[in-house]
Amino acid sequence: MHVYDAVVIGAGQAGLSASYHLGRLGLDHVVLDANPRPGGAWQHRWDSLTMNDVHGVADLPDAPAPGGSADRANAVLADWFARYEADHRLPVVRPVRVDRVTSEGDLLVVHAGARQWTTRTLVNATGTWTQPFVPSYPGAGEFRGEQLHTADYPGPEHFDGKRVLVVGGGASAVQFIGELAPRTDVLWATRRPPVWREHFDENVGRHAIEMVQERVRQGLPPASVVSVTGLALRPQEQEAARLGAYERRLPMFERIEPDGVRWADGRFERVDVILWATGFRPAVAHLAPLHLRSPHGGIALLQSGSDVQTATTAERDPRVQLVGYGPSASTIGGNRAGRAAALAVRRFLDAQLRAGDRALA
């Protein structure tokens, strides 16, 4: 039975960064990725999302990120990831969809159907894309129109001639409205009024990340930071703004009816499509057998340095590192967490070796 030093689950930005640093440290590892080809979650984004639209992509270690262009992000970034895997000879195996991770003595066993990998440590880099969140509303099952989530967004042409309700107060909702309002009838509903900003402030962004880290430290589920960082309109969204699409924001409705939605005050709006831009949740169900969650529902992480994005070690099991989770759930955060996780794996293995030497002595 081959026992790896580490198994990485996921070959997105955080997983590739972790693999690069594990390799630099001379650690025997494998990367298991559920996708049939390189590209992480980027390969699943809609075709109208260009490199000019993405909200910043950080460099990978020793590989500058592609710059802005009118080219499709789902193609450009997938090609970049593929070159990176090849150039650095990263040990990626795909497609492998991990079902569960179990603990067997001092070792961890990663299961994918009939296949399994045994390892001393685990780096989880599964992100959120496979766990779209749609809130439960009365009457949702009776709606005769179409319900889509950000993960299913087919591009603006699909909505021509349809009345669309965009639900959600994040950057994706703003972008969808920017694409759709100039070509069809769009409504917007959010739980709370959006917070707008003219320019991104690094201090505000850092504070938002620290807020996420504090939640994760307490074992709470990670939360959105848009309410802190605020929303901004890009040039692509100025036409929708001129049409007043963002000013006509509505509070959340009370229920969904077969032909539309109804508010608590009796207001009814007929819609053909409900587009749920309501975010994602961490894809960590396969870790359930390890019992990493706190009573508060999240996975508490230990911070290894002054940078909050280096918080990767599961408090309940130091064999497990989570990257792209909580404060590192961004491209730059994933990079930093990848390095931090590799160093944490090295420290853990060294400590185990020292403990074994003391036991023999």
Q: Tell me, what CATH number does 159's domain have?
A: 3.50.50.60
Do the domain assignments include residue 272? yes
In contact, 182 and 260? CB cutoff 8 Å = no
- Residue 165 and residue 259 share a domain: yes
Can you say how many angstroms the Cα of residue 345 is from the centroid of all Cα atoms in its chain?
22
75-84, 112-121, 250-259, 300-309 — which is least confidently predicted? 300-309
- Residue 253 and residue 340 share a domain: no
At residue 236 the predicted structure's pLDDT band, cuts being 50, 70 and 90, is confident
Do the domain assignments include residue 226? no
Per DSSP (E only), the strands in 231-343 are 250-251, 255-257, 260-262, 268-270, 273-276, 301-302, 313-314, 320-322
The rounded percent of the chain whose pLDDT value lies above 90 is 71
Tell me which residue range forms the domain holding 287: 3-130+280-360
The confidence score (pLDDT) of residue 77 equals 96
Q: Which CA distances in Å does 196 have to 158, 178, 280?
A: 28, 15, 22
- Residue 306 and residue 241 share a domain: no
The confidence score (pLDDT) of residue 213 equals 60
Segment 325-331 mean pLDDT: 68
The confidence score (pLDDT) of residue 212 equals 61
- Residue 84 and residue 186 share a domain: no
Residue with structure tokens 């669309």? Answer: 164
Segment 286-301 mean pLDDT: 93
Q: In what order do the strands lie in the sheet with 255-257?
A: 255-257, 260-262, 268-270
Helix (H) or strand (E) holding 189: strand 186-190
The confidence score (pLDDT) of residue 225 equals 52
Do the domain assignments include residue 223? no
Tokens (6 digits) for 144: 């005769």
- Residue 259 and residue 291 share a domain: no
Length of the chain in terms of residues written: 361
User: Structural domain tally of the chain?
Assistant: 2
Do the domain assignments include residue 314? yes
- Residue 332 and residue 267 share a domain: no
Do the domain assignments include residue 94? yes
CA angle 328, 42, 302 (to 5 degrees): 15
> Does residue 33 have a pLDDT over 90?
yes
Q: Which CA distances in Å does 361 have to 349, 356, 357?
A: 18, 9, 6
At residue 79 the predicted structure's pLDDT band, cuts being 50, 70 and 90, is very high
- Residue 313 and residue 268 share a domain: no
What sections of the chain are H helices per DSSP? 13-24, 73-87, 171-180, 202-217, 226-229, 238-242, 331-360
Do the domain assignments include residue 80? yes
- Residue 247 and residue 165 share a domain: yes
- Residue 32 and residue 126 share a domain: yes
Please, which residues bridge with residue 308 across strands?
A: none
Q: Which CA distances in Å does 295 have to 225, 253, 300, 311, 316?
A: 23, 31, 10, 19, 12
17-21, 44-48, 77-81, 323-327 — which is least confidently predicted? 323-327
In contact, 27 and 142? CB cutoff 8 Å = no
The confidence score (pLDDT) of residue 253 equals 97
Do the domain assignments include residue 215? no
Tokens (6 digits) for 59: 């460099």
- Residue 94 and residue 151 share a domain: no
Question: pLDDT tens-digit profile of 335-358?
Answer: 888 999 999 999 999 998 888 766
DSSP 299: B
At residue 184 the predicted structure's pLDDT band, cuts being 50, 70 and 90, is very high
Q: What is the pLDDT of the chain when averaged over all its residues?
A: 89
DSSP 266: S
Segment 47-62 mean pLDDT: 87
Question: pLDDT tens-digit profile of 89-105?
Answer: 999 999 999 999 999 99
- Residue 121 and residue 11 share a domain: yes
**What is the CB neighbour count within 10 angstroms for residue 147?**
16
Which is it for strands 186-190 and 164-167: parallel, antiparallel or unpaired? parallel
Residue with structure tokens 């639209």? Answer: 53
Do the domain assignments include residue 35? yes
- Round the CA-based radius of gyration of the chain to a whole number and report it: 22
- Residue 252 and residue 171 share a domain: yes
Separation between Cα atoms, residue 338 and residue 333, nearest integer Å: 8
Residue with structure tokens 């917070």? Answer: 195
The confidence score (pLDDT) of residue 69 equals 92
> Does residue 208 have a pLDDT over 70?
no
